[in-house]
Structures are given as C-alpha cells and as structure tokens.
Amino acid sequence: MWRPTRWNDLGVGLSDDEQRILREIEQQLETDERFAQAVSPSGLYRHSARTVRWAVLGVVAGLVITVAALQVHFLVSFVGFLTMLVCGLVIERQVRLIGKAGVQDLAQTLRQPRFASARFRSRPERE
C-alpha cells in the first residue's frame, strides 16, 4: 500500500504565495528563542518537574508534621499523614505523565552545564 512520505507526495500543491508564507513562518519559528525553549525536551516537561519538586517538599513537610504532631494529638498527626499521601499521589501521577522518555530527557538536561558558553574548554597544548 502506497503512503505519502511528504506533503508534496499528497498531490496537494501550494501556490507560490502559500509557499512564501510558509517559509516566512518557518523562519520566524527558527529565530523565536522562547518557542524553541518551550518545545525542547526540557521545556516540555518543565511544569511536571516543578510540580514533582513541590510535591517532594510536601512529603517532607507532611513527615515533619506527622512526627511533631504525635505529641499533640493523633488527628493532627493524621492530617500530616494525609498530606504525605496526597503529595505521593501527585508525584506518581506527574511521573506517569512525564513517562520514561521524559525522565531520561530531564536527567540529561540536569547533567548538562547550565550555560553552554561557560563550559570548560581545555587549552591547546604548546609545542
């Protein structure tokens, strides 16, 4: 079965004006840094990663509340436990949304230096 691999293979041709507009849009998208950052692998998962960070903080806070509130009242301690439970569920959901590929992209982004221009460059050896 024949399947088109490119738009031109579909048999739908664009007029010269449409092709010019398409080229202009492509050029604008290539120079738009905010757009490039938003669709980069690190940009796609940034919101979920931020949510996971806050949820981890919530788990730690819930643990502190649970342990500290055991001396006060068991119901206050239970609220701390529920906080930990909810934050744990938020973490699980966000990690599922990110998926395996997203986790790998985030890990690779974290390993890279923050500023590409600030990378260590070794000096050439003197002869």
pLDDT tens for each residue of 24-48: 888 887 777 777 666 665 566 777 8
- Residue range 12-19: mean pLDDT, rounded: 80
Task: Work out the pLDDT band at 90, boundaries 50, 70, 90.
Answer: very high
pTM greater than 0.85: no
The pLDDT of residue 65 is: 92
Q: Using alpha carbons, select from 93, 100, 95, 105 the residue that is nearest to residue 44.
A: 105
Which DSSP category does 72 fall into?
T
Buried b (16+ CB within 10 A) or exposed e, 51-67: bbeebeebbeebeebbe
State how far the Cα of 2 lies from the Cα of 15, in Å rounded to an integer: 25
What helix, strand, coil percent values describe the chain, rounded to 5? 75, 0, 25
3-state SS of 29-53? Answer: HHHCHHHHHHHCHHHHCHHHHHHHH
Asked if residue 117 has pLDDT above 50, the reply is: no
Residue 71, helix vs strand vs coil: coil
